Amino acid sequence: MKLDVLIGLAIGVFAFLMVMGYNVFPVGLLFVTAYVVWKFVLSRQIVKNGNGVAIATSGVDFEDIGGQSVAKKELQEALDFLLYSDRMKALGIRPLKGILLSGPTGTGKTLLAKAAARYTNSAFLSVSGSEFVEMYAGVGAERVRGLFRRAREMVRKEKKSSAIIFIDEMDILGAKRGSNVSHHEYDQTLNQLLIEMDGLKVDQGPHVLVMAATNRPEALDAALLRPGRFDRQVKVDLPDKEGRLAILQIHTKNKPLAEEVSLEEIAHETFGFSGAHLENVTNEAAILALREEAEEINKRHLHEAVEKVMLGEKLDRKPTSEELRRIAIHESGHAILAETVRPNSVSQISIRSRGNALGYVRHYPKDDLYLYTQVMLEEQIMVALAGALAEEQILGTRSTGAAGDYEQALNLVEKMLLAGMSSLGVTDVSLLNADKRQAVTKDILAELEERTMKIIENNQQSLLGITEILVAEETLTGDTLRTYLKNAA
């Protein structure tokens, strides 16, 4: 209403000036142009209505999303029910009512939902599951009803044939009923969502498709996952090496890269990174180049960005000379063991403090592995134990700096127990008493400590040499380490 008053007032002013003999054509043309541009921009932006529900016209295509080829293919197949509804109806196919996107955070679930809206030319509403949870009875249920009502209104207003409602954090809105014993409002809100999804019929108005995202699908109520509610579940997992390369290529399109940069190498180093992590790597690399006033992003910028995303920013704290030497011995122990059991696996050694780490050894993952043998797990445990054992061999004592290594080693032993790789064989680990469990864990670690110590003793001179280099230079590349070990052999 205020906008209409302002427009009317502007027209009145222009009319008055024309009567007075002024040439208002240039100003009027400028005003009309600004109004048209403003309306266009407004139509493309996200706005908020009274209930906090975000409404947007999606500007994301499936081509803008890398590393999720399987998820995109499965999602596009499901969305074809919207695009080719007549053909599906002829075959007697029941249209889908809901699609659940599940997977770790940062893998692109929200981007996939936005791309789905553009792919199907649908009106798009986005909301978080937490926005429906209230302490007052009936408020959440009313917001659910209002959400579906607004979706149908948007379809008519935008003259489209369908709408997509995207609910993020679905595990909050759709948690198993009864899990919040003292708060029945949660259950009422979920019941209303189930009722609304049951009422979605193509022959009774525009087609409304519900898409939801969660990283905890096991927490969802079973009624949501049955056919007729969320008919299709799409797994959006962490990208593999080819997927990481595709994501890096997308996020470096607008960034000047030096010729020496190998995105394949960065993709190889970033096993376990999500799409959000990789985007952050490219952004941090560009920031580092800006700090140095470099015209291009070089290899060093990207490698340092990977370290920053993994471990955090460099810290100003300076250990004492004794502490620095102990840290160097500790990290040298990790590096020598890694190169012994997995040759060519070390990427870099550093005794610069980052985040909570006083020093670190960064490894090249051999491949994207999803299964581990007993030998692989034992080698990882030996690498984790090597830092503390190197301190003990050279300095006579261990330090608290190995606490994180021990935690990692215990987690790996736990995997061995669960997989039947201990002296107990295949057993229900949950039924073991604490003493039995501790005894088996102690036996495994004692054996691996003995094997690890032998390797450190055999490479003691190399360990001392690498330590001196680290104390002097703070960092050491994997290639330099391997050259030194080869010459020392």
Q: In one letter, which amino acid is 399?
A: S
The CA distance from 420 to 190, in Å, is 41
Other CB atoms closer than 10 Å to residue 477's CB: what's the count?
Answer: 14
Question: What gap in Å lies between CA 75 and CA 348, rounded to an integer?
Answer: 40
Length of the chain: 489
**From 196, 284, 331, 379, the catalytic residue:** 331
**123-128 sheet: strands from edge to edge:** 47-48, 54-56, 123-128, 162-168, 207-214, 98-102, 232-235
Say how far apart CA 224 and CA 231 lie, in whole Å. Answer: 9
Cα-atom radius of gyration of the chain, to the nearest Å?
A: 30
Question: Is-catalytic flag, 331?
Answer: yes
Question: Which tokens hold the place of 384?
Answer: 């984790």
**327: nearest Cα among 362, 356, 352:** 352
Tell me which long-range contacts 457-464 makes (C-beta under 8 A, separation of at least 24): 457/393, 459/336, 459/340, 459/485, 460/393, 460/394, 461/488, 462/336, 462/488, 463/329, 463/332, 463/333, 463/336, 463/390, 463/393, 463/394, 464/394
Identity of the residue numbered 377: L
| Residue 288, CA distances (Å) to 194, 235, 299, 431 in order | 49, 35, 11, 52
Nearest alpha-carbon partner for 240 in 123, 71, 75, 376: 71
CA geometry: angle 183, 189, 194, nearest 5 deg: 135
Active site residues: 331
